C-alpha cells in the first residue's frame, strides 16, 4: 500500500459497491475483445490485438463514494469510460479525480522520477461517458462536458478537463453501435428492459426482483446472438441483480433532484414571505409557482 492510501481519511472509503453490467461487458478480462471493439468504435480505429490492452480500473476501494466503471491502458493512452443512466454534469470533476488516482498508480508502479530535471512522458488520457438514460430527446449524439463550467467564480482555471459525452440510446450514434456489437446489444438490452418496466406499470408485479427478471427474459429473446446474450444466459441472476441496482439508483437520483428542487423553492418562498411580508399563497403567486406544485409545497410548509 502506498503512502497516498495510508493518508486517506477512513470515512471517505466505501467498499459497498456493486459492479455494473457495463463493466462486466467492457471492463473484465473475459470482455477484453469488447473493450478493444469499444475503443475502435469511439476512436474510428481498427486495432485487432487485444493483448496490448491492460485494465487499470480502480478496484481496491471506492474513494469519496465513487468508483469508475472501466479504465484501461492501450497504446500509451489511459481510457476512462463511464456509463450513466441519469444526466450528471459533474462527470468532468469525478473523472478528473479518477484520473488523478490512475496517474498516481501509474507513477508508483513505473517508478517515474517526477522530481528530476527531465520532462517525464505519461500516457494520454481520454475521458468518455456513455449515456443511455431516459432523457433521450434533450441529449445530443456527441458533446463535451467541461470542468471549467463548475468553477464558482467563473474565471479561467489552471486546471482544464473535458469529458466526451456519447448518447448510446436507440436511434443515436448508429454507426458506433454497429461497429461495436457489444455496445449495440447493451444499448438494445437497456432499451428493452426500460420498455418492459414502463409497460408493466399497467399490470404491476408485487416483487421488484420478479419484475426485473421478467423484463430481462423479454429483452433477452429480442437480442441478437452474441457476447451479451451469451453472458446473460450464463449469469442471469447476477444480471438481474445488477440491472435492479442500476434501476433503483436512477430512481434514487431522481428523488434526490426533486427533493433538492423542493428545498430550494421552499427557501425562496420563505425568504420572500419574510422580506415582503407575504402569505404563502401570495409568495407563490409572485414567483408564479405552477398550481400542480402548490399542494406539495403547502405540505412542506406544514412540516416546518
pLDDT value for 256 = 44
Q: Is the pTM of this model over 0.85?
A: no
Counting residues of the chain whose pLDDT is more than 70, the rounded percentage is: 83
pLDDT value for 261 = 65
Element (H, E) at 229: helix 227-234
Instruction: Collect contacts of 290-299 with beta carbons under 8 A, ≥24 apart.
Output: 293/265, 296/262, 297/262, 297/265, 297/266, 297/269
C-alpha 102/C-alpha 135 separation (Å) is 31
- Mean pLDDT for the stretch of residues 157-166: 94
Residue 186 has pLDDT above 90, yes or no: yes
Residue 63 has pLDDT above 60, yes or no: no
The beta-strand segments (E) located in the chain are 54-55, 70-74, 77-84, 124-131, 142-146, 162-167
C-alpha 50/C-alpha 124 separation (Å) is 19
Residue 259 has pLDDT above 80, yes or no: no
- Angle between helix axes 181-200 and 208-222 (nearest 10 degrees) is 130
pLDDT value for 137 = 64
pLDDT tens digits, residue range 84-117? Answer: 888 788 999 999 998 998 898 888 888 888 888 9
Residue 273 has pLDDT above 60, yes or no: yes
What are the helix and strand counts (H, E) for the chain? 11, 6
Amino acid at each position: 500500500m502506498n503512502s497516498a492510501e495510508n493518508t486517506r481519511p477512513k470515512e471517505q472509503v466505501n467498499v459497498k459497491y456493486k459492479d455494473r453490467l457495463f463493466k462486466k461487458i467492457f471492463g473484465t478480462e473475459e470482455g477484453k475483445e469488447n473493450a478493444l471493439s469499444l475503443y475502435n468504435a469511439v476512436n474510428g480505429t481498427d486495432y485487432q490485438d487485444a493483448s496490448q490492452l491492460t485494465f487499470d480500473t480502480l478496484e481496491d476501494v471506492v474513494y469519496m463514494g465513487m468508483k469508475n466503471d472501466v479504465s484501461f491502458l492501450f497504446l500509451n493512452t489511459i481510457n476512462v469510460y463511464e456509463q450513466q443512466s441519469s444526466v450528471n454534469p459533474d462527470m468532468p470533476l469525478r473523472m478528473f479525480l479518477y484520473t488523478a488516482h490512475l496517474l498516481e498508480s501509474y507513477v508508483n508502479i513505473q517508478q517515474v522520477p517526477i522530481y528530476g530535471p527531465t520532462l517525464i512522458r505519461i500516457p494520454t488520457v481520454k475521458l468518455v461517458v456513455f449515456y443511455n438514460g431516459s432523457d433521450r430527446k434533450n441529449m445530443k449524439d456527441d458533446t463535451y462536458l467541461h470542468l471549467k463550467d463548475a468553477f464558482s467564480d467563473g474565471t479561467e482555471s489552471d486546471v482544464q478537463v473535458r469529458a466526451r459525452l456519447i448518447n448510446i440510446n436507440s436511434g443515436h450514434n448508429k454507426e458506433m453501435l454497429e461497429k461495436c456489437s457489444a455496445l449495440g446489444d447493451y444499448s438494445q438490452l437497456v432499451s428493452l428492459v426500460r420498455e418492459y418496466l414502463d409497460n408493466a406499470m399497467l399490470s404491476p408485479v408485487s416483487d421488484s426482483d420478479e419484475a426485473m427478471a421478467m423484463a430481462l427474459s423479454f429483452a433477452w429473446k429480442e437480442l441478437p446472438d452474441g457476447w451479451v446474450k451469451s453472458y446473460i444466459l450464463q449469469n442471469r441472476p447476477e444480471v438481474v441483480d445488477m440491472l435492479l441496482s442500476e434501476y433503483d439508483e436512477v430512481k434514487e437520483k431522481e428523488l434526490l433532484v426533486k427533493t433538492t428542487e423542493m428545498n430550494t423553492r421552499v427557501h425562496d418562498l420563505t425568504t420572500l414571505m419574510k422580506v415582503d411580508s407575504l402569505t404563502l399563497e401570495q409568495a407563490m403567486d409572485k414567483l408564479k409557482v405552477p398550481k400542480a406544485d402548490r399542494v406539495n409545497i403547502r405540505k412542506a410548509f406544514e412540516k416546518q
